[in-house]
Amino acid sequence: MQLAHRPTDGWAENSSSGSVVLDTRNLSKVYGRGKQRFEAVQQVSLTLRQGEVLAFLGPNGAGKTTTIKMIAGLVRPTQGQITVAGEDPHRQPRALRHIGAVLEGNRNLYWRLTPEENLEYFGVLRQVPRKVAHRRGLELLARFGLEEKRQTPVQKLSRGMQQKVAIAVALIHNPKLLLLDEPTLGLDVEASEMVKALVRQIAQEGRAVLLTTHQLDVAEELSDRVAIIRRGRIIAEQSTEALLREFSSSTTYHLEVEGDLSPQQIHTVTQLGATVQGRQITYAGTPEHLYGLLGALSPVPLVSVQRDRADLTQVFLKLVNDHSDSSHAHD
Amino acid sequence: MPMIDLLHAELKRTWIQFIRYPTEVISGIVIIMAVFYGLFASAQYMAGPGFAFGDRLDAVVLGYAMWTLIISVNNDIAINLQIEAETGTLEQVFLSPYGAPRVFLARAFASLALRLVILVVVLLLLMGLSGSRLAFPPLLLLPLASLLLAGYGLAFLMGAAALVFKRVQQVLGIFQFLLLFLLAAPLEEATGLMQYLRFLLPMLPSTGLLRDLMARSLGLDWFTYGLALLNGIVYFALGLLVFRWAEATAKQRGSLSGY
């Protein structure tokens, strides 16, 4: 695997497309000793490239936050290696210049300071020259639609705005890797849509985004890849599309028609193997035979034809349950 | 000069957080003014014999100012660590490529600067109000510097305790008694072994020199000052070292943000 070894000059975006930003190998964290010994994270290996969004999915206490904090240099791994843009955040504090993070359960901001002041302060804390931090701060506020609120103390902003400011602060030093721990938790629908749109934009700029969530729809909408973690171990990791496809029953279609079918049509359709419930028709057959079915429905107008597609909730539950079955079998 | 930028940013942040709610600022200043006015009006009653740097008004005021300054300096890092852990900004601070010791050092300077400014403003106001004049020999600044060095060493030790043990309010309370001893015990008058051992205790050599200058009207003994400065540097370095160890321990335990 090729790592980005070029020297970094701070805030210029300088990586070629698709280079590896984050690489973790066999990351493990053990807390306590003896009977109190608890393996929070076991053998987690992840690779994340520029512009990629990886969703880290798992139930509460599965080890998502511990993994994120190990990557950010806040929790020391018991074993394993982390490189962010070629540098180890635990050995080289410089590596922290590549990392931006919004952590869950934290305010992440000084509440008495305005968004503008927070951005400038955290910029300098991340070694951005003061004037650059100020300018970049204003740009980010404009981009995030917070210009009007830039002089309002953060504690007077809505929860959604605070989260946007926290994300802006995490971007002030132009990091290559953005870590988002439960970015939409506790937000209302509108705010959470806004945050999702921002995350997409941020990835499009070429940053790698690692987000944890237990809201499956968030992962499904945002991520290119999903890693499912359970009891500290990754039990599945692949592209979100492939994962969904694998778990989709490929031969089930849901059709909806406008208007009622005649008794003759219902008979034909049933003969073809479909079931009719009012205006809803479910058909489990090959794609070729679907056209026969569509012919039989003519001329009743169609509203929709949909192939049954698993959503991440089903995949997740299936995987997590399968694993608990197999681990029980081993017990 | 990134360190200068950091210092500037910390000064700005400290100042904004202080000034944002004017009622707090005004009530705080009124309280400090009241205490010092009491000192000006009836010095001998307010300042017990304990930490007197002499019984002249200058010395009483200086003694009290020193006492409040050192207490706040000592608690500064530990209390701020705890507040930031509770409000959830601590981990963002530890994400700084400067590393936590440098950030907290810059913060210590910033909060010291703020406290000194408030103190000077209050004293000037009171001198204007009461018509009295305070006079301090400028040489005073030297033992004050070594005193603050040792004081910040202790502050980093308390900060380390806060990182590892989390709840440290009780310890901080008890610690004030120890401080009282370190500031007030006139061990420079001791004879025998204690005459030498006092150089090993934090801050004691510096407070002895301050008493020489203020109460006894003696000059500054440069050899003793050398030892006091060494004392300050050693405690400061020790504080930083233990703080680093505490940071590594907290990261090992995964307890950086807990409180």
Cα-to-chain-centroid distance, residue B64 = 12
Taking residues B6-33, report their average pLDDT. 89
| Angle made by CA atoms B184, B189, B193, in degrees to the nearest 5 | 105
The CATH class of the A249-307 domain is alpha beta
Q: Which of B5, B8, B88 sits opposite A107 (nearest CB)?
A: B88
| Lowest pLDDT segment from A66-80, B94-108, B160-174 | B160-174
What local confidence, expressed as pLDDT, does residue A154 receive?
94
What local confidence, expressed as pLDDT, does residue A140 receive?
95
Q: Which of B9, B99, B251 sits opposite A124 (nearest CB)?
A: B9
> Phi, psi (5° rounding) for residue B12?
-65, -45
Taking residues B212-228, report their average pLDDT. 84
Token couple for A211: 């987000």
Distance CA B182, CA B235 (A): 14
Residue B43 has pLDDT above 70, yes or no: no
Which is more confident, A130 or B175? A130
What's the farthest any 2 CA atoms get from each other in chain A? 77
How is A223-271 classified by DSSP, letter by letter?
A: -SEEEEEETTEEEEEEEHHHHHHHHS-TTEEEEEESSPPPHHHHHHHHH
Distance CA A82, CA A66 (A): 13
What local confidence, expressed as pLDDT, does residue A11 receive?
38
Residue B49 has pLDDT above 80, yes or no: no
Taking residues B136-163, report their average pLDDT. 91
Taking residues A300-312, report their average pLDDT. 81
Q: Which residues make Cβ contacts (< 8 Å) with residue B64, sequence separation at least 6?
A: B35, B36, B39, B46, B47, B51
> Phi, psi (5° rounding) for residue A23?
-140, 120
- For the whole model, what pTM was predicted? 0.82
Spell out a b/e string for B178-187, using b for 16 or more CB atoms within 10 Å of the CB, else e. ebeebbbbeb
| Lowest pLDDT segment from B66-75, B102-111, B190-199 | B190-199
Task: Pick the residue from chain A with its C-alpha nearest to B85.
Answer: A106
CA distance A152 to chain B (A): 11
Q: What is the CATH number of domain A20-245?
A: 3.40.50.300
For residue A256, the one-letter residue type is E
Distance CA A164, CA A222 (A): 17
Q: Which residue has the tokens 């939409």?
A: A184
Asked whether the beta carbons of B126 and B40 are under 8 A apart, the reply is: yes
- Percent of all residues in chain A with a pLDDT value above 90, rounded to a whole number: 51
CA distance B180 to chain A (A): 34
pLDDT in tens, A247-267: 765 567 889 999 888 999 999
What local confidence, expressed as pLDDT, does residue A78 receive?
95
Residue B237 binned pLDDT confidence (cut-offs 50, 70, 90): very high
For residue A51, the one-letter residue type is G
What local confidence, expressed as pLDDT, does residue A128 receive?
95
Mean pLDDT over each residue of chain B, to the nearest integer: 84
Strands A280-284 and A252-257: antiparallel
- Chain B hits for A8, CB-CB cut-off 8 Å, are none
CA distance B173 to chain A (A): 27
Residue B178 binned pLDDT confidence (cut-offs 50, 70, 90): confident
Distance CA A240, CA A311 (A): 10
Asked whether the beta carbons of A175 and A99 are under 8 A apart, the reply is: yes
pLDDT in tens, A157-216: 999 999 999 999 999 999 999 999 999 888 888 889 999 999 999 999 999 999 998 777
Q: Which of A73, A106, A130 sits opposite B9 (nearest CB)?
A: A130
Taking residues A17-32, report their average pLDDT. 89
Highest mean pLDDT among A173-182, A207-216, B47-56, B109-118: A173-182
Taking residues B200-212, report their average pLDDT. 85
pLDDT in tens, A126-142: 999 999 999 999 999 99
Beta-carbon separation of B89 and A66 below 8 A: no
pLDDT in tens, A72-124: 999 999 999 999 999 999 999 899 999 999 998 778 999 999 999 999 999 99
Residue A14 has pLDDT above 50, yes or no: no
Residue A4 binned pLDDT confidence (cut-offs 50, 70, 90): very low
Q: Which of B2, B88, B256 sits opposite A127 (nearest CB)?
A: B2
What local confidence, expressed as pLDDT, does residue B45 receive?
54
**Is the predicted ipTM greater than 0.95, yes or no?**
no
Mean pLDDT over each residue of chain A, to the nearest integer: 86
| Lowest pLDDT segment from A96-110, A302-316, B143-157 | A302-316
| Angle made by CA atoms A52, A56, A59, in degrees to the nearest 5 | 165
Which is more confident, B22 or A41? A41
Instruction: Please report, for chain A, the start and end positions of each structural domain, with discontinuous segments joined by +.
Output: 20-245, 249-307
Long-range contacts from B126-132, C-beta under 8 angstroms, 24+ separation: B126/B33, B126/B36, B126/B37, B126/B40, B129/B37, B130/B37, B130/B40, B130/B41, B132/B40, B132/B57
Residue A329 binned pLDDT confidence (cut-offs 50, 70, 90): very low
Residue B124 binned pLDDT confidence (cut-offs 50, 70, 90): confident
Residues of B contacting chain A (CB within 8 angstroms): 2, 5-6, 8-9, 12-13, 16-17, 20-21, 87-89, 91-99, 103, 248, 251-254, 256-257
Beta-carbon separation of A117 and B12 below 8 A: yes
CA distance A293 to chain B (A): 59
| Angle made by CA atoms B135, B138, B143, in degrees to the nearest 5 | 115
Beta-carbon separation of B98 and A94 below 8 A: no
Distance CA B35, CA B204 (A): 26
- Percent of all residues in chain A with a pLDDT value above 70, rounded to a whole number: 90
CA distance B20 to chain A (A): 7
Distance CA A165, CA A154 (A): 8
Residue A70 has pLDDT above 90, yes or no: yes
Residues of A contacting chain B (CB within 8 angstroms): 29, 31, 40, 66, 69, 72-76, 93-97, 99, 101, 103, 105-113, 117, 120-122, 124-127, 129-130, 153, 169
> Phi, psi (5° rounding) for residue A63?
115, 10
